[in-house]
Structure 1
Amino acid sequence: MVAVRNRPLMRISSSDLDSLMSALDVSFVTLTECLVSSGYRLDMGGINVPGIHYNLSGKGQFIVGNEPPIDIVPHTLIIVPLMSSFRIEVAGENPSLPLITVDGRAQAKGQTISGGTIRRFVAGDEESPEVLLICGVFRTSYGSATDLFANLAGPIVEQFDSADMLDTRLEMALKELVAQEVGAKAMSAALLKQVIVALLRRSLSSLNLWVERFSILSDPKITRAFADMAARPGANHTSNSLAQTACMSRSAFFARFTELIGRSPMDILRDLRLRQAAQQLTATKLTIEQIASNSGYGSRSSFVRAFRKAYGNGPTEYRAEAQKKNPSGRTEGAEASELPDSSAS
């Protein structure tokens, strides 16, 4: 038998991944610039959300915790797990000399530019850095407790090129945050989602095995069922129907799903339904009864009880509060604090 080399591992079908991409929420967008000159090292700490780092120009090395150094060139994209420290290094002209270390954490919030809306971390000469990265933090979720990147154990590294236009999207997101116009938050989140989608799309052709680090994506059978739930939360899903979608017995499906996701299928389905309901309450003029039906609830009363338990307010109050915050009717996307309470049932 002849070994086939350089063939991507098609672990997840394109249709399942497409459903997951469509249902994915991106929020908590904060972007910064990191500039490092030749002969310098920028040392940064970790925070409790994943980080995204895209190299716009120059060559250097990116080190996450105790992981091996990652060579970065223009269009290198790196996702850093939450609570992971990292540093960016650029060798000097004389390799025998030690690098000058700048502690980014000591810069507190970094230098503010553009009226204080954007942070910039600098190691060396700000006017002529060797490498320039757009860095940020984000959340990607399918409900209150299903974060795609939450359980990521190691960095994700993919090399793109100028034709992919990820640099353009991130620079546009940065400009949106600088301008602070109406809808800037929603626009920047939408642009960042395009970058995340490009990364997930790459998983279909990548030779790297990073996709298996995602609990949701590590088992194609569970992914298929989860994708169906995310794409059609209001459908008449049951434990049996989801198990059939996954081509598993009910007990095996329940156990495997809970092992990977950390919560039961019906708990996750409830979150997805209530998230859809919250979005429709703020973005449409549908009646409460219509939204309840769209979200898979058989009666208004059962929907109102579940929604109130999750959000602290009933649907009517939630809609009124959202209209007060945004009278123009434009939706800015759900904040992490606006996602349903994972303890609700």
Structure 2
Amino acid sequence: MQDTTKSQAGSRQEERTDSTIAVSAVKLAAADLNNLMRALEIDVVALTEMLIPSDYRAEMGTMDAPAIHYTISGRGRISIGNGPWMSLEPHLLIIKPPNTPFTIEVDGPTGQKRLISRDCWRQHDGVLRIGIPNEQPEVIQICGFFNASFGQSVGLFRELREPVVEKFEPTDKIDLKLREAIEELCAQEIGMGAMTASLLKQVIIALVRRSMKSSRSWTDRFSILTDRQITRAFADMVARPGAAHTVQSLAHSAGLSRSAFMARFSAIFGRSPMVILRDLRMRQAALELTTTSAPIEVVAYNAGYESRSSFVRAFRKAYEVDPSQYRQRMKNGEGDKGT
């Protein structure tokens, strides 16, 4: 009887321990995602407003960047990469893989689809609008190409093979954020790029939040998010690029041996941890050079370099100019060659 009681008590203790581990894992995953989302950089390549009447079809080619589609109103269907048709409805958000064509169709009384030609594409106030003049649109969509990345070498959606599809509600106000981004492009005021990037980042974060509650979790499709142990180490690199990381310390953070960590990290990212870390450090240094007047030595130290000369060599390799020249170029309003 005593042995049985001990066994039952042991089982209850194991259950409590397993439960504690599970809760800790969930908290850790949330912390990792918070770090990743905080450091995620958005670059808006283009935004398009699509106004498709009944009985029309729009065909779009490819671009080497992920795309976002959000249906403001109306119903139709979309085929991505010559795949099966998916129904379009208001507040449906789709992230399309890079280099993937798509077609949108809207049914009508004739049953025959006329192709919207390039003659119907109009550039207006910095925004491309696709539609038929004097025709009432049935489907209104905001589409855009963008890059979402960590540093220069890791893109969140670059390896996406299938579209991400999530249904939102009007109360989520995704349409308002995208409309505001369109308005920013039209206004062409100071800080336009930062504002449009911030608005689109809010949409991406809303998508991540929705995915965490959805039965169709799209996060499992991304290699940098599927291996929780590697994600933990990468999130630490992203959150603290200037820290004294080593392969051994990162392996310890992941709870792996050095060899297992190196193999799994390289398989996911296609590069070694130290190469990815260097890219993250260079991006932090570039931002600090742009937004502060800190001496080069301080920027180097914050990026994890004890030697100014080694930092300058690494920065020159990444951006093809010395840090001081980069700062001056950005001060003069010249483009950032490294992004």
Report if TM-score (shorter chain) is over 0.5: yes
Say which one has the larger Rg.
2
For 2:248 and 2:188, the matched residues in 1 are separated by 48
Distance (whole Å) between structure 2 residues aligned to residue 35 and residue 75 of structure 1: 15
Structure 1 position 133 matched with structure 2 position 141? yes
1:288-327 residue pairs with structure 2 within 5 A? 288-325=296-333
Letter in 2 for 1:33: E
1:33 equivalent in structure 2 = 49
| Separation in structure 2 between the aligned mates of residue 202 and residue 12 of structure 1, nearest angstrom | 18
Partner of 1:113: 124
Deviation of 1:55 after TM superposition, in Å, equals 0.6
State, as a whole percentage, how many aligned pairs show the same letter: 49
Q: Which residue of 1 aligns with 2:94?
A: 78
Alpha-carbon distance in structure 1 between the residues aligned to 2:207 and 2:236: 21
Specify which structure has the bigger relative contact order, considering alpha-carbon pairs within 8 angstroms and separated by 6 or more residues. Answer: 1
Q: Following TM superposition, by how much is the alpha carbon of 1:292 offset from its aligned partner in structure 2, in angstroms?
A: 0.9
1:126 is displaced (CA, Å) by: 5.2
Pair 1:60 & 2:76 matched: yes
Q: CA RMSD in A?
A: 2.0
Contact (CA 8 Å) 1:107, 1:121: kept in 2 or not? no
**Structure 1 stretch 138-147 or stretch 202-211: which is displaced more?**
202-211
Q: How far 1:127 moved relative to its partner?
A: 4.5
Distance 1:158 1:243 in 2: 35
After superposition, give the CA deviation of every residue in 1:110-144 in whole Å (9 maximum; x if it has no partner). Answer: 21123xx111112x565410110011100111122
Superposed displacement of residue 304, structure 1? 1.2
Q: 2:58 aligns with which of 42, 47, 59?
A: 42
Change (3 A) 1:99 1:138: same
Tell me the alpha carbon deviations over residues 252-288 of structure 1, each in whole angstroms, 9 at most, x when there is no partner: 1111111111111110000000100000000011111
1:248 CA displacement: 1.0
Q: Which has the higher helix share?
A: 2
1:173 matched to which residue of 2?
Answer: 181
Distance, in Å, in 1 between the alignment partners of 2:133 and 2:76 is: 15
- 1:316 Cα deviation from its structure 2 partner: 1.1
Say whether the 8 Å CA contact 2:49–2:140 is kept in structure 1: yes
The total of aligned residue pairs comes to 315
SS at match of 1:325: coil
The residue that corresponds to 1:343 in the other structure is none
Q: Within 5 Å, which residues of 2 pair with 1:1-345? A: 13-93=29-109, 97-103=111-117, 106-107=118-119, 110-114=121-125, 117-122=126-131, 124=132, 127-325=135-333, 337-339=337-339
Unaligned ranges ≥5, structure 1: 1-9, 327-333, 340-345
Q: Counterparts of 1:11 and 1:62 in 2: how far apart (Å)?
A: 37
Please give the TM-score of this superposition, normalised by the length of structure 1.
0.87
Q: Using a 3 Å threshold, how does the CA distance of structure 1 residues 125 and 318 change in structure 2: closer, same or farther?
A: closer
Flag as ranges the 4+ runs of structure 1 deviating above 6 A.
none
Taking structure 2 as the reference length, the TM-score comes to 0.88
2 CA distance for matches of 1:157 and 1:11?
Answer: 25
Distance in 1 separating the partners of 2:134 and 2:148: 32
Alpha-carbon deviation of 1:338? 2.2
The alpha-carbon deviation at position 98 of structure 1 amounts to 2.7
User: What do the CA deviations read for 1:181-223 (whole angstroms, capped 9, x no partner)?
Assistant: 1111111111111111111222211211421221211211111
Structure 2: tracts of 5 or more residues without a match: 1-25
